[in-house]
């Protein structure tokens, strides 16, 4: 019998001063049985950084041909393809041909740096791709705050992120590897 996804609910309030987006999003995150809390929370952070009414979570790890997050226009064309982790370079080439903008949020410290070192030259040719790295300390702090029901407030200003969950606030300084 196949294991089922675990469902998490998040009420996310976003105040993005950089993009001028202010909104509240009631989100349902399905965590694949092989997905960690850290990866799921990075997906939540990626949503906050790109928050929009048309941004949706993909089917996740079980669907190799889908992004972790996708934003489509009214015609169904993909405006934004957002992946989390260390995707294959061929996957990103394919995504950059399908979407107007592709963003990858890497995490994992040394593993992420090794992935970037191995793929930077090939990825430099993709004009619509941006790569953002998240520090291991910040993603572990996110994972520690994962809960089946979450109320999260996110403030973004000058490229810095503050996530408030309960009485605690995490400051995250994403490092842009490829703008």
For the record, the structure tokens of 3 come out as: 């294991």
Q: What is the pLDDT of residue 111?
A: 97
Residue 170 lies in a domain: yes
CB 131 within 8 A of CB 163: no
Angle, CA 140 vertex, CA 139 and CA 142 arms, to 5° = 65
Q: What is the pLDDT of residue 1?
A: 53
Residue 36 lies in a domain: yes
Domain carrying residue 158 = 6-178
Residue 93 lies in a domain: yes
Q: What is the pLDDT of residue 42?
A: 98
**Number of structural domains, the chain?**
1
Q: Name the band, by pLDDT with cuts 50, 70 and 90, for residue 150.
A: very high
Residue 1 lies in a domain: no
- Count how many residues are written for the chain: 179
Q: Which of 72, 172, 78, 100 shows the shortest CA–CA distance to 132?
A: 172
Write the pLDDT tens digit of every residue in 160-176: 999 999 889 999 999 99
Q: Which of 131, 59, 61 shows the shortest CA–CA distance to 96?
A: 131
pLDDT at residue 65 greater than cutoff 80? no
Read off the CATH number of the domain in which 23 is found. Answer: 3.10.640.10
CB 103 within 8 A of CB 130: yes
Q: Name the band, by pLDDT with cuts 50, 70 and 90, for residue 134.
A: very high
- pTM above the 0.85 mark? yes
Q: What is the pLDDT of residue 11?
A: 98
């Amino acid at each position: 019998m196949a294991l089922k996804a675990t469902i998490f609910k998040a009420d996310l309030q976003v105040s993005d001063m950089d993009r001028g987006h202010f909104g509240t999003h009631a989100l349902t995150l399905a965590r694949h049985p092989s997905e960690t809390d850290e990866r799921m929370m990075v997906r939540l952070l990626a949503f906050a950084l790109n928050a929009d009414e048309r941004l949706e979570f993909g089917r996740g790890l079980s669907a190799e041909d889908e992004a972790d997050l996708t934003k489509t226009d009214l015609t169904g064309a993909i405006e934004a393809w957002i992946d989390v982790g260390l995707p294959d370079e061929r996957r990103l080439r394919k995504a950059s041909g399908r979407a107007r903008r592709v963003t990858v949020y890497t995490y994992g410290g040394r593993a992420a740096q090794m992935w970037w070192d191995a793929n930077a030259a090939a990825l430099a040719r993709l004009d619509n791709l941006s790569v953002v790295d998240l520090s291991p300390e910040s993603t572990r702090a996110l994972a520690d705050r994962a809960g089946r029901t979450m109320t999260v407030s996110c403030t973004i200003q000058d490229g810095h992120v503050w996530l408030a969950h309960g009485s605690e606030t995490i400051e995250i300084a994403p490092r842009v590897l490829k703008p």
